[in-house]
Amino acid sequence: MSAAATLAPALRDAARMVARVAAGRSLAEQFSRSAEEGIETARAALLDLTHGTLRRYGRVQAIVAELSRRGQPDPLVQALLWCSLYALESGRYADYTVVDQAVRAGTLLELWSAKGYVNGLLRTYLRSRDAVEARLRANEEAHHQHPQWWIDVVRRAHPESWEEILAAGNTHPPMTLRVNARRVAPGAYAQRLAEEGINARSLGGEAILLERAIPVDRLPGFADGEVSVQDAGAQRAAELLDLAPGLRVLDACAAPGGKSAHILERADVALTALDVDARRSERIVRNLERLSLRASVHVADCARPHDWWDGKAFERILADVPCSASGVARRHPDLKWLRRTGDPAAFGVRQAAILDALWQLLAPGGKLLYVTCSVFPQENQEVVHAFVARAQGARSLPLPEGERSHWLPGPSHDGFYYALIQKQA
């Protein structure tokens, strides 16, 4: 069956998911629910329609608002129109096919009274596309495809690169590998990729960037623990911790375990890995088992050390704290729908509490590496500067070799912030 012939049911299922996201539910939750509901639409098609639509956050909303002549339509009708507009712009289908299949999707959704409206709005858009585009140029949410408050915060925080940051948030994320140097040299693994016809290039260290994403079962040696998938920005953590054999190391917010594994691949340390979520902690264990690595894994809240700490200080602590994830928004395009104006400041309060708790566990002379995948200063330098000012014996260290603290999202990596803090002996 052709892709066009299956578009109507795909639009139906995607519209339901996107409508739920617009109502405040996460996209990951919707995909879990789709498995339980027995949805038959191919996962690849659903991923394309939902992620593609949500990456165009402001744009598809603005088009529907611009062309609607009868007030705000029903939420499910809006979601169907948003997904259909993305399908039109994707270039995968002929225009007439999208319009026809969108109307059919309306039937499948039992939106009987809205079918003519869906047909008319999409046809109006196709007839007046240039005029609509001209009117949308002044709409920042439509142009940058992010909420206005998000645009404003990024513009203030990064005045020289704000447009590039927002543009990166609308792209497909890169797929980067982390070679397990205990098993194979990165150069040798890159050669194996070339022999398999997989185009890739080295980013330094253990990181290899693939030209295009592929299923992990196509990666040579993946099942044997020779390689993992991890963004190049995330791989900086193990590099910046200044590891040495025998150190007691804590990964305080460890799930799903990528940074824990990288630490153990780099040095024979005594690693404790925590996560407050039991399901996510299981992923730490599975990832370490695949790589034949060992750590002490606990389901625990790092901000409540009296529940789990044995009283022995750690010489290195990795605090990859909960955050807005604004630096990895392209991997989770529903984030732009779900985040609210006050979220960065609220995360900052939680992050400060975590730092205060972990500081008690750090040995004199030890180092704590603070990490977020955020581009918002309320979660990054503002948190760190306030902590260093109030914590006894805290001293900010320059990152090794003049590394910059903030890697902003770009073609080869996501957005991460790093700060290294030492407790004076």
Instruction: Tell whether the model's pLDDT for residue 5 goes beyond 90.
Output: no
pLDDT for residue 34: 73
Residues 55 and 77 both lie in one domain: yes
Q: Are residues 54 and 130 in the same domain?
A: yes
| Mean pLDDT, the chain, integer | 94
Residues serving a catalytic function are: 373
β-strands 416-423, 406-407: how paired? antiparallel
Least confident of 65-74, 115-124, 126-135, 181-190: 65-74
Count: domains in the chain: 3
Secondary-structure percent of the chain, ordered helix, strand, coil, rounded to 5: 50, 15, 35
Model confidence pLDDT, tens digit, residues 266-276: 999 999 999 99
CA distance 421 to 356: 12
- Report the CATH number at residue 64: 1.10.940.10
CATH code of the domain in which 207 resides: 3.30.70.1170
Give the per-residue pLDDT at 6. Answer: 84
Same-domain pairing of 125 and 212: no
Listing DSSP states for 385-403 in one string gives HHHHHHSTTEEEEPPGGG-
Assess whether pLDDT exceeds 90 at residue 401: no
User: Is residue 22 pLDDT above 60, yes or no?
Assistant: yes
Claim to verify: residue 264 and residue 115 sit in the same structural domain: no
β pairing state of 248-251 and 270-275: parallel
pLDDT tens for each residue of 51-92? 999 999 899 999 999 998 767 789 999 999 999 999 999 999
Q: Are residues 110 and 199 in the same domain?
A: no
Statement to judge: residues 27 and 124 lie in one domain:
yes
Q: What's the one-letter identity of residue 164?
A: E
Residue-range definition of the domain harbouring residue 179: 175-230
- When pLDDT is averaged across residues 103-113 and rounded to a whole number, the result is 94
Cis check for the bond before 344: say yes or no (omega within 30 of 0).
no
H-helix or E-strand spanning residue 201:
strand 200-204
pLDDT at 44: 85
Residues 70, 166 within the same domain: no
pLDDT in tens, 293-337: 999 999 999 999 999 999 999 999 999 999 999 999 999 999 999
Please check whether residues 139 and 163 belong to one and the same domain. Answer: no
Residues 121-132: what's their mean pLDDT? Answer: 96
pLDDT score of 149 more than 60: yes
Other residues' Cβ atoms within 10 Å of the Cβ of residue 102: 26
- Domain match, 209 and 180 both: yes
Residue 204 sits at the vertex; the CA angle it makes with 198 and 208, to the nearest 5 degrees, is: 20
Same domain, 399 and 358: yes
Q: Are 261 and 253 in contact (CB under 8 A)?
A: no
Q: Is the pLDDT of residue 403 over 90?
A: no
Claim to verify: residue 209 and residue 289 sit in the same structural domain? no
Instruction: Examine the domain organization and report whether 316 and 274 are in the same domain.
Output: yes
Is the per-residue pLDDT at 33 higher than 90? no
Predicted local confidence at residue 4, as pLDDT: 64
pLDDT digits (tens, 9 = 90+) for 203-232: 999 999 999 999 999 999 999 999 999 999
